[in-house]
Amino acid sequence: MGDEIVFSTVSKCFAPIDRDAWNALTQGVAWADFLDASRRLLQRGAKLGEDESPASRVRLSCPLQDFLSVGEVNALFAPPSWEDVRSFAALHFTGGLPASAPPIESLYRLPGDGAEPFAPHGESRLPGSYYGESARYMRDLVRRMGMSLPPAFADCPDHLSIELDLLAVLLRSGMTHQAREFLSERFAWLPAFRLRLLGLEDQAHVRFYVGLVDVLLGVWLQHAADAASKRPFNDV
Amino acid sequence: MSEHAITRRSFLAGSAGVAAAIAGSEFLSFGSWQQAYAEEAAGPTTTAHSLCNACSTKCGFTAYVVDGKLDKIIGDASHPYCEGTLCARGYGYADIAYSADRLTDPLKKNESGQFQAISWEQAYAEIGEKVQSIIKESGPETLAIVQDPRPSGKYYSQRFMNALGSPNVYTHGVACNMSKNSGFAQVIGASDYTSDVENSKMTMFIGRSYADAIRPSALHALEKAHEAGAYIVLVDPRLNNSIAFADEWVPINPGTDLAFILGMAHVLVSKGLYDKDYVAANSVGFDEWASYLQNCTPEWAQEITGIDANTIERLATMFAEAAPAASIEPSWRGAFGCSYDNSGETARAVCAFNTLLGCWNQKGGALFLPSVSASKLDAGTFPSVPKPEGTIVGAKEYPLSQSGMGVSVFAANLATTGMVRGMFFYNSNMVAGYSNPEHLKECVEALDLSVAIDVQMSETCMACQYVLPDTSYLERLELPEFVSAKTPVVTLRDKVIEKVHPNTRPVDQIFSELAEACGVGEYFTFSVEELADAQLASVGLSLDALRQKGTAAFPEKTFEYGKTPEWKTPTGKIQFASDACEKAGLPRVPQWREPAVSVPDDGASFRLIGGKQAIHSHTQTANIEALMDITKQYGLDRVWMNANRAAELGIADGDTVLVSNDLFSGQAQVKVTERINPEALYLPSHYGCSSPQQKTAYNVGLRQMDFVPYRLEEGYGGACTQETFVTVKKVGA
Amino acid sequence: MTRYGMLINTKKCIGCYACRTACQRQNGLLPDEAFIRFEEREQGTYPAVSVEHLPLQCMHCEDAPCVSVCPTGASHIGPDGIVTVDHGKCIGCLYCVAACPYQVRVRNSQTGGVDKCRFCNVSNYENGTKMSTCVTACPTGVRIFGDLDDPDCELVKEINRTHAEPIAGDVTKSKVYYVR
Amino acid sequence: MSYEPIWSGIIACYLFLAGLGGGAFITSAFIRWRHPEAVRMRVYGHIIAPVTVIIGLVLLMFDATAGLHNPLRFALLLSNFGSVMTWGVVFLGLFVIVSVIVAVLDLLHKHIPVVLDIVGSVLGVCVAVYTGCLLGVCKTFPLWNNALLPILFLVSAVSTGMASVLVAAIIRHPEEFNRVGVLKKFHFCLPIIELVLIASLCFITYQDTSGAGAASVAKMIAGEYAPAFWVLLILVGLVLPTALETRMLFFSSREFEESRKAHWISFASDAGVLIGGFVLRLLILLAALPITMVVPWV
């Protein structure tokens, strides 16, 4: 086990956390483990939430490069300082600013059901609005599973951090099948979010966040494929 | 695999304090959830009463909340302003709560001019420190606040400013209805009245359209009047949409309403058609005015207004026949709320004319409706704030301006001199809406401290150093709103939905905490619930009771026709002549006064006039997609040009033109129409948003104010929003 | 038999769009998805001008071109005579949009399917459910909803009193009548 | 008042390709009858026919977004035989089946029963006419709602179908191209007929009492689409091919006619026909304005 470390780590990268927590996350062994776990999860044939024999880990190359650009890989290997992260969030993970790109699913989906996530470019209008269907789903799901949301996320339960956190919880609780289903349903908005990030000017730090999103997208492509193909047509 | 405490820490908390799925708890896929959601008809529905915030009318409605999300809204039949129906703005503006462009965190402008999120603690600490140092260095009178009055906002902003020791509490009135209210006050001692349209035999509207700047109950009244056979006259350079319920359009030259009224008054006085007994019993200064009116013949007025002398004579005579069930409607912003250098004087003439009809408080005439207000509260719980010394900045220079509104742009204009150093803005977009935006931006940027409290990034926010994110009107309880009506009521804006953004704060909390940071927290030791409940208790109600009903009436205070009001003028009478006006450098009686700017007769120039459309209000609704989509689908951002003028200029319907003057130049499409006076070019007032953060509104259409110079009306301080002309040229011709 | 219909009195219409936005809220439509469209006609020359606002929405025709061209049967006439789109059958070919003489069908930019006025006011008419429909929300009372087969209902009385007629004559057997 | 066209590029492609496919099949049948020696050209026609129609159908499915998201809904396409589109699906479906069988037989050098040629050609005509009727039944659009449009689309379909086969022949088998004189003469006439039909369509539509017809025609020939109409449709699509073919058929020596240079001139003419065929459908879709209720188009 240990796949959940990928999601719980990325979850923290997009959330407001304090300096000590950030340093503990990025400056110790934890970060190396995160990178290691990411690499493993991106291997072809890797199974989300399933243990692998140590032997099978040996065969491996560096799949990070398959999904991430060199710049992104470098950025992931040298995570920014807490000050940088905080100022990036103040400029971009804050609403109502020209370069706002809050990591909240509702903003990247049109209202209503079954919406295809929409790819917004640069500083154009975000396609969705707050507290859409995905937010209500996440709120219900968290409640249903006997947990509660922290006050800071009370009204954006479809914040990337919460979605990832929940995924980590599912994995930790051994609900592997559900985790896969959740993964395949929940990450379809990430390409749109990724485009939004790429449109920002602050490229030095954008690379770090895009790198994180690309890890998630890589995992999504690798592990959601089978789940998605099983999905029936919506209706006739 | 090592396991680290940090990566195992979760944001989600389980019931045992550990974030883990509880044994037996069920995961539900999105697909299944959606299905369940659709089948259950979408969860539990709750309702709450609130007041609309799309315009200043604040109609009452019942909000239906389905599964925590705002669903439909339905106007409350008991609310005297909406009587059960809302307007397009009300339905559309409710989307603001979920808008992707909402401000979510306190912001501070950094050295490079970019806004950056900061904590509330930091914002309060820095603002508090700055406020205290300004007070110490230059005194509290160099601080000011501008707000567009809302139930809680007007209370808390005033209390905050007064607690700091400053009398400088302004509204948006300078660019709205202040000249009108101030002019009225000079004549009748009251800043407004209400025409009893539905019971009238004749009502004249000057520059106001109930069908475009909608207050639903007013529209209902107009419709009833029309069906009952009242003669309804629209005096407006533009044939507005009220024509559906009107009988005559008087296509007056813009800025000449004063001459038109004087011409009609001349007819009444010279023919002895006015109510002589009423005038004698209730007024002073009539003879002075009558002698001035001798020269204001209909022929004289025709020259100025472009309206046939016979029409003027006919309408005056009809008025006399219909009196006292007739009046000139008080208007609002329209023609003389703030538009011209003669607006205040026009307002005086309107009241003087109504006096000739003897219509005050008569059925079908012009009424002073009763209202109720909370009485004084327990000073222990709600300590009273000492009255600040001195008068509001601008009162000296513009002695006729209403101190309750104040000349806000004048105060802003002093920023460059250091006489005003710190300004707060609540629910006010002064920079884009009150006078020349470029100039006002410079003023705000010159301040030592500038703080805007709003829900989205307005042009004013952009110019400020600090921006504090307010909750939207749907996310909070506000103080009770007392409404004057034939039967006065009190209404409530209750909380409809939970906060959408955890880090936004309601206005009452923001001001209370700001006060604390500025060292005057002792005046804000109560909650908004406590205050609301106490205010309601003082009129025999309770917060809980009003929450149930939304609107509560005071039938014992119901209006009665025929009672002569108490005239709150210095003479205790209706004043045809005013000493105060004379002191302010204006004539003692309402006399003809040219607009300050005349339009050159060069064939290419037009007076630029504004006016509301039924789907927008001020600058705040333009960023609502559902409303802006109407604008785009029907080309409502087009400028209106008279068909003959267009033909002369070689301009066809739908052409793109360059509208320009020495201040600004911009492109727009033209609506070529027979519905407008040849002298005027109508530019709808809601467009031209220059805040890129309002991603729906940004760059759609032109902004009227960009073409308007900074200028204030003599004596009254109005923003002279139509004292400007533009030239129009076809693009590519 | 119940035959729902509507009367639209354009003489009272001020073109304020309240019906459009109320309908969007009632039916949860997208901002650019409007079931009501407007035509505005100006007649005469300055200053003797008149203006007419004409709101148009699905006429629930008995002889509905949208139904006859629909290749999948998604557009159909329900048992109560209301022209309905079965969203589960619509492929979004837009043939009905082209065929509708009143141009009151809209494409949902999100699903690609076609939609239009659903005569949702039925719920209000039948059991008084509070709604924000075009009928109940109109500040000037432009619309009356009712049963065309019930001679005692307000709708029929008002149609007879005002000699209201379908907007384009009898071409599609429209059930929406206009006073102009 | 502005108007957003309901259908545009993708549907224009579909109408164009469906017509072209039908025309190509008819061309092959014609070649088999009058030029049995031009075997290669016949095969080309037989291949072009199903391929273009299938591409067109795929485009159509892409345009029907709601169906694309829920592909099983396309199974419902045969549920309303009152709909022209349903008949279109029938014709297209049968045409694809027949043309694929014929193409396979032809590629395998098997004998093609004449009856298949006849059935395929009839279906080809049906497909071409259907593309016109599809628009024609929309009473709201005077530019569409007339009996000329299906004829115009049929003529254009055959013309573009022939052009496509001729282009293929010029590139791959010029020697066969030199031998199909009757086909070329026939092909030569079609743009002239089209010109007459387009002029008639414009004249008649212009007279429509609602004003929408006049506005549509004005939009096409004098408004925003005028450059495309005059340059791409009339000049490149109709006049140029007629002029070039006149020179080739009536004013050139046999030697020149069979030279490579002459082939390229014919190529230009046929390319013009193809461009014109597509632009014709695009303009008909984009320029059509619906009848309004009270406000006339200006």
A19-27 and A4-13 are packed helices; what angle lies between their axes, rounded to 10 degrees?
A: 140
Q: In this structure, are residues B669 and B651 in contact, taking their beta carbons and an 8 Å threshold? A: no
Residue whose C-alpha is closest to residue C21's, from D41, A54, B89:
B89
- Asked if C110 lies within 8 A of A235 by C-beta distance, the reply is no
For residue B410 the two structure tokens come to: 């004048």
Residue with tokens 């379908």: C166
pLDDT of residue D255: 80
Statement to judge: residues B237 and B324 lie in one domain = yes
Q: Would you call A111 and C88 a contact, using CB atoms and an 8 Å cutoff?
A: no
User: How would residue D292 be classed by pLDDT, with cut points 50, 70 and 90?
Assistant: confident
Beta strands in B355-405 (DSSP E): 366-367
Residue in chain B closest to D298 (alpha carbons) equals B653
Look at residues B331, B330, B323, B332 and name the one whose alpha carbon lies nearest to residue B365.
B323
Could you say which of D67, D86, D138 has the minimum Cβ distance to residue C99? D138
Residues of D in contact with A236 (CB under 8 A): 70, 72-73, 75-76
List Cα–Cα distances, D189 to B336, D126, D195, in angstroms. 73, 21, 10
pLDDT tier for residue A230 given thresholds of 50, 70 and 90: very low
Q: Angle at the Cα of C173 (from C171 to C176), degrees rounded to 5?
A: 110
Superfamily in which the D9-287 domain is placed by CATH = Formate dehydrogenase/DMSO reductase domain (1.20.1630.10)
| D chain contacts of residue B653, beta-carbon cutoff 8 Å | 298
Tokens of A21: 């927590």
- Residue B724 in any domain: the answer is yes
Please give the residue that has the higher pLDDT: either D187 or B271. Answer: B271
Q: Does pLDDT of D278 surpass 80?
A: yes
Half-sphere exposure of B319 (CA within 13 A, CB side): 34
Which tokens in the block code for residue B129?
């420190």
Integer-rounded Cα Rg, in Å, for chain D is 20
Inter-residue contact D219 to D284 (CB < 8 Å):
no
Q: Which residue of C has its CA nearest to D10?
A: C93
Interchain CB distance below 8 Å, A169 and B21: yes
Closest by CA position to B309, among listed B354, B247, B267:
B267
Interface pTM (ipTM) of the complex? 0.88
Most A CBs within 10 Å: which of D69, D74, D76, D79, as the mutation test of the A interface? D69
Q: Which domains does chain A have, with CATH numbers?
A: 4-230 (1.10.3480)
Sheet holding B551-553, edge to edge: B481-483, B489-491, B551-553
Q: Tell me the pLDDT band of B694, cut-offs 50, 70 and 90.
A: very high
Local structure of B692: helix, strand or coil: coil
Q: How far apart are CA D160 and CA D19, in angstroms?
A: 8
Within this chain, do residues B714 and B616 fall inside the same structural domain, yes or no?
yes
Q: Name beta bridge partners: B424.
A: B145, B451
Question: Which CATH number is B351's domain given?
Answer: 3.40.228.10
How distant is the Cα of D32 from the closest Cα of chain C, in angstroms? 36
- Which of helix, strand or coil describes residue A2? coil
* Residue A29 pLDDT grade (very low, low, confident, very high; cuts 50, 70, 90): confident
Quote the CA–CA distance of A69 and A211 in Å, as a whole number. Answer: 8
Interatomic CA distance for residues B167 and B726, integer angstroms: 38
Are B110 and C169 in contact, with CB atoms under 8 Å apart? no
In terms of Cα–Cα distance, which of B210, B256, B214 is closest to B52?
A: B214
Residue numbers in A near B690 (CB within 8 A): none
Residue numbers in B near D298 (CB within 8 A): 653-654
CA-based nearest distance A117→chain D, Å: 13
Q: A30-54 pLDDT, tens per residue?
A: 898 898 888 888 876 667 766 555 5
Query: Is position B121 within any domain?
Result: no
Q: Which of B315, B318, B331, B324 is nearest to B364 (CA)?
A: B324
B207 shares its domain with B321: yes
B238 and B362 inside one domain: yes
Cα B22 from Cα A169, distance rounded (Å): 10
Please indicate, yes or no, whether residues B626 and B698 belong to a single structural domain of this protein. yes
Per CB-CB distance under 8 Å, the chain B contacts of A144 are 25-28
Q: Decide if C94 touches D, using CB distance below 8 A.
A: yes
The verdict on a CB contact (< 8 Å) between C46 and B94 is: no
- Domains in chain C, start-ordered, CATH in brackets? 4-179 (3.30.70.20)
Q: Using a CB cutoff of 8 Å and minimum separation of 24, what contacts does B532-535 make?
A: B532/B477, B532/B478, B532/B479, B532/B480, B532/B492, B534/B374, B534/B377, B534/B378, B534/B381, B534/B382, B535/B374, B535/B377, B535/B479, B535/B480
Yes or no, beta carbons of B615 and C34 under 8 Å apart? no
How do residues C11-60 score in pLDDT, each as one tens digit? Answer: 999 999 999 999 999 999 999 999 999 999 999 999 999 999 999 999 99
- What's the pLDDT at A63? 66
Question: What's the rounded mean pLDDT across residues B599-627?
Answer: 93
Quote the percentage of chain B above a pLDDT of 90: 89
Write out pLDDT tens, residues D19-60: 999 999 999 999 989 888 888 899 999 999 999 999 999 998
Residues B573 and B684 in one domain: no
Q: Pick the closest to residue C137 from C53, C16, C10 (CA basis).
A: C16
End residue of a domain, out of B550, B583, B616:
B583
Give the pLDDT confidence score for residue A46 in this predicted structure. 67
* Residues B241 and B349 placed together within one structural domain of the fold: yes
B21 pLDDT tier (thresholds 50, 70, 90) = low
pLDDT bucket at A120, cuts 50 / 70 / 90: very low
User: Residue A234 pLDDT > 50, yes or no?
Assistant: no
Q: Is the pLDDT of residue A203 over 70?
A: yes
B33-56: average pLDDT? 81
Touching C: which chains, 3+ CB pairs < 8 A? Answer: A, B, D
Q: Is B633 in Cβ contact with C139 (below 8 Å)?
A: no
C53: which chain B residues are within 8 Å (Cβ-Cβ)?
Answer: 241, 244
Residues B574, B654: one domain?
no
Q: What is the mean pLDDT of residues A166-170?
A: 89
Which of B59, B233, B674, B695 to mutate: most C Cβ within 10 Å?
A: B674
Token code pair at residue B610: 């504004």
Q: Which residue has the higher pLDDT, D140 or B343?
A: B343
| Res. B2: pLDDT tops 60 | no
* CA distance from start to end of chain A: 40
Dihedral of alpha carbons D125, D129, D134, D137, sign: negative
**How far is the alpha carbon of D68 from chain A, nearest alpha carbon, in Å?**
11
* Helix/strand/coil for C147: strand
A133 interaction partners in chain B (CB closer than 8 Å)? 34, 37
The predicted model gives B384-395 an average pLDDT of 93
Phi-psi map region of C92: left, alpha, beta (phi>0 left; psi -120 to 50 alpha): left
Residue B328: inside a domain: yes
In DSSP notation, D170-192 reads HHH-HHHHTT-HHHHHHHHHHHH
Domain assignment present for B481: no
Instruction: Note whether B127 and B106 are within 8 A (CB).
Output: no
Rounded to the nearest angstrom, the gap between the alpha carbon of residue B534 and the centroid of all alpha carbons in its chain is 28
Number of domains in chain B: 2
Q: What is the DSSP pairing of strand B489-491 with strand B551-553?
A: antiparallel
Which of A107, A148, A154 has its CB closest to that of B100?
Answer: A107
- Mean pLDDT over residues A67-92, rounded? 86
User: What count of other Cβ atoms lies within 10 Å of the Cβ of residue B388?
Assistant: 18
Do B34 and A162 count as a contact with CB atoms less than 8 A apart? no
The residue out of B529, B553, B583 marking a domain boundary is B583
CA–CA distances in Å: residue B366 to residues B39, B94, B350: 55, 34, 11
- pLDDT (mean) for B105-125: 94
Which of the listed residues B583, B613, B646 is the one where a domain comes to its end?
B583
Contact D95, D53 (CB under 8 A): yes
**For testing contact with chain B, the best of C8, C10, C12, C16 (most B CBs within 10 A):** C16
| Bridge partners, residue B489, by sequence | B483, B553
d(CA B593, CA C46): 27
If one counts every other C-beta atom within 10 angstroms of the C-beta of residue B310, the result is 11
Subunits with at least 3 CB pairs below 8 A relative to chain B? Answer: A, C, D
Host domain of residue B619? 605-730
**C-beta of residue B254 within 8 angstroms of C-beta of residue B680:** yes
- pLDDT higher than 80, residue D140: yes
- What's the whole-number mean pLDDT along residues D59-67? 87
Q: Do B576 and B719 share a domain, yes or no?
A: no
Q: Determine the pLDDT at residue C37.
A: 95
Rounded to whole angstroms, the Cα distance separating D157 from D153 reads 6
B187 is a domain residue = no
Check whether B620 has a pLDDT greater than 70.
yes
Confidence of residue B168 (pLDDT cuts 50, 70, 90): very high
- B574 and B609 housed in the same domain: no
Q: What is the mean pLDDT of residues B546-562?
A: 96
User: Chains with 3 or more CB pairs closer than 8 angstroms to A?
Assistant: B, C, D
Average pLDDT estimate for D122-131 = 95
Residue pointed to by tokens 């020209």:
A98
Tell me which amino acid residue B378 is. D
Q: Identify the band that residue A71 occupies on the pLDDT scale cut at 50, 70 and 90.
A: confident
Looking at the fold, whether B576 and B622 belong to one and the same domain comes out as no
The identity of residue B373, as a single letter, is S
State pLDDT tens for residues B656-680: 999 999 999 999 999 999 999 999 9
Asked if A236's CB is within 8 angstroms of D69's CB, the reply is no
Q: Which of D138, D297, D298 to mutate to test the interface with C (most CBs of C within 10 A)?
A: D138
In a domain, B101, yes or no: no
Which residues on chain D place their C-beta less than 8 Å from a C-beta of chain A? 69-73, 75-76
Of B223, B103, B218, the C-alpha closest to B466 is B103
Q: Look at residue B22 in the predicted model and tell me its pLDDT.
A: 61
Min Cα–Cα distance to chain A from D52, Å: 28
Domain ranges in chain D? 9-287
Give mean pLDDT, residues B195-202. 98
Predicted confidence at residue B9, as pLDDT, reads: 78
For residue B88, report the phi and psi dihedrals to the nearest 5 degrees.
Answer: -55, -40
Question: Whose CA is closest to A38, among A193, A216, A222, A226?
Answer: A216
**Cβ atoms A176, A48 nearer than 8 A:** yes
Q: How many CB atoms lie within 10 A of CB D182?
A: 13
If asked whether residues B668 and B699 sit together in one domain, one would say yes
Question: Does B200 reside within a domain?
Answer: yes
> How is residue A65 written in tokens?
């490069």
Kindly determine whether residue B117 and residue A94, on different chains, have CB atoms separated by under 8 Å.
Answer: yes
pLDDT above 50 (res D92)? yes
Please state whether beta strands B107-109 and B115-117 pair in parallel, antiparallel, or not at all (unpaired). antiparallel
**Is residue B322 situated within a structural domain?**
yes
pLDDT at A55 over 80: no
| Band of residue A235 on the pLDDT scale cut at 50, 70, 90 | very low
Instruction: Give the CATH number for residue B703.
Output: 2.40.40.20
Cα nearest neighbour of A101 on chain B: B100
Please report the number of interchain residue pairs, chain A to chain D, with beta-carbon separation below 8 angstroms.
13
CA distances from A192 to A102, A117, B187, B386 (A): 12, 7, 62, 55
Q: D2 — contact with chain B (CB < 8 Å)?
A: yes
Closest to D92 (Cα-Cα) out of D135, D47, D55: D55
Helices (H), A173-230: 176-186, 190-198, 203-230
